[in-house]
Homo-oligomer: A and B are copies of this chain.
Amino acid sequence: MLKLSKKAEYALMAAKFMAMKNSSGYSTAKEISESCMIPYQLVAKVLQNMVKSNLAISAKGTNGGFSLAKNPIDISVMDIIKSVESNYKLVDCLQPKSSLEDCSHLDCCKIRDPLIEIQRKIDKVFSETSLVQIL
């Protein structure tokens, strides 16, 4: 519980890898996979997610690969987590599309509002931590 998924872990590691590659140029999924000991297929998927979220850019074909789309200081840990995870809320009824009606405990559940506040504080931690603090 309250654990980061492997996808999120791998995304952080991959982001760090690309950020550390100071010289511009692409990092390939294979390269990151081997350096970080992450299954190739997984890190490839994670990188694709990062591209979709505009955190990274990709180049196909020979000499292609991935590189960060922004300066690391402008990428938050939250950005990285969100790029690979849609459900990162403490409880389901805090998901964007959810409403009180989705609460299986109906009005007997009186802990939703306090949890919103806790969720907000946790979001703040992830949003205010930048990729540069991971380097």
Residues of B within 8 A of A91 (CB): 3-4, 9
Question: Once bound together, how far apart are the Cα atoms of A119 and B116, in whole Å?
Answer: 19
Protomer copies: 2
Are A13's CB and B118's CB within 8 A? no
27 contacts between A and B (CB under 8 A): A1-B85, A2-B3, A2-B88, A2-B89, A2-B122, A3-B87, A3-B88, A3-B89, A3-B91, A4-B90, A9-B111, A13-B108, A16-B110, A16-B111, A35-B108, A36-B105, A36-B108, A36-B109, A37-B106, A37-B108, A38-B105, A77-B118, A111-B134, A114-B129, A114-B133, A118-B125, A121-B125
Q: A2-B122, A4-B90, A37-B104 are in contact. List 6 more A-B contacts (CB 8 A).
A: A2-B3, A3-B90, A13-B111, A36-B108, A36-B109, A117-B129
